[in-house]
Amino acid sequence: INTLYDMLENYELDIAIVEGKRLSSKLNYFMLDTDYLVCVVSNDNPLSKQSMVTINELKNEKMILRLPTSATRKLFE
């Protein structure tokens, strides 16, 4: 992602759609859209009976997370 920011600052790119932002006086940021996270579990998992769960409720669950640099993953670390 830092490469994209560097390319923007060096006028090699016009636009980058990224997750999160790096503070830079050379760049302008605006929200493109809002998003929500979905937790997918098997019907046998006790969490399947809930309409909503907290991150704290997921801390003891086995799961596959996104890339280490992902802001979503950082929520769980």
Q: What's residue 1's pLDDT?
A: 63
What are the domain boundaries of the chain?
1-33, 36-77
Single pTM value for the model: 0.50
Q: Cα Rg for the chain, rounded, in angstroms?
A: 17
pLDDT in tens, 32-43: 888 777 888 999
pLDDT in tens, 6-64: 999 999 999 998 877 778 888 998 888 887 778 889 999 999 999 999 988 988 888 88
Which is nearest to 75 in space by CA: 46, 39, 40, 42? Answer: 39
Collapsing DSSP to helix, strand or coil, 73 comes out as: helix
Which is nearest to 58 in space by CA: 69, 47, 44? Answer: 47
- Residue 57 neighbours by CB under 8 Å, 6+ apart: 47
